[in-house]
Amino acid sequence: MSASPRRTIGVIGGSGVADVFEGGAKAAHRVATAWGAPSAPIEEGDVGGMRVLFVPRHGPGHTIPPHRINYRANVDALVALGAQAIVTVSSVGSLREELSPGTFVLPDQFVDLTKQRPTTFFDGGKVYHVSLADPFCPDLARAAAEVGRSEGAPFAEGKTYVCVEGPRFSTRAESRFFRSFADVIGMTLVPEVTLARERALCYLCLAMVTDFDVWAERPVETREILETMRGNGERMHRLLGRLLPRLGTVPTCACARALDGAGV
């Protein structure tokens, strides 16, 4: 059977992105999952002709810290409402001089240094070992790179995201260590990316650099991060407005076959 076009895209909004709809959402869905409730009711609307589902990762008013987010419920609620792909927005710190605050980053690899989060849907019964050799959907990444390059804003792709537990920021020693293998640092990519793969979804992370991590010899200040996020917000809305309608194509990726041969 040939693949069909994607018709519904899920968006998980991070810090600084509270919605994606011009003129507001058309509906809000309260979804119960086997893992509990998602961060907020799932909003539904239209972006350039594409059906889009939106959930704010940190809840209304940014009240849920990174280590307490119900990632499994967020992903499963989007799946229950028909999402075939998930695009996420994340704020990150930079570990590279050339990735200055305000830069959009498209990671292609990650390193997981989280400590206490449930990272799988497969807690018992049948066991699946999914491959995350290439964690992000190449179709979505290709489209995002094309839109990002055309935006004229600082944009970088092919970077490594190190995900830490949070909510605290790094020590100087940790930050210098992270620089040896990663380009940006954040607190929310994992386990979203692994859960999306287990649900055989296309997944993409759009990261916004808000600060230089403390390796730059200056402690990170939340006030400065919030100011940068506000500046990035308008550009992120514009990027999503152009990107999401382009994702309703017939997939050429293997994301939908992620569980093939992965079961024990």
Residue of 76, 139, 183, 211 marked catalytic: 211
Query: What phi and psi values does residue 130 have, to the nearest 5 degrees?
Result: -80, 150
Q: Is 123 noted as a catalytic residue in this protein?
A: no
Please state, in angstroms and rounded to a whole number, the distance separating the CA atoms of residues 257 and 63: 36
Closest-CA residue to 208 (of 107, 65, 69): 107
Give me the residue label for tokens 């995201």. 161
- Selecting among 76, 139, 183, 213, the annotated active-site residue is 213
| Residue 217 Rama label (left phi>0; alpha psi -120 to 50; beta) | left
Catalytic residue at 211? yes
Q: 129: which 2 tokens?
A: 């070992």
Contacts of 16 (CB under 8 A, 6+ apart): 89, 91, 208, 226, 229, 230, 232, 233, 236
Q: Which two tokens stand for residue 211?
A: 């600060």
- Closest by alpha carbon to 16, among 192, 167, 237? 237
Could you give the residue numbers annotated as active site? 211, 213
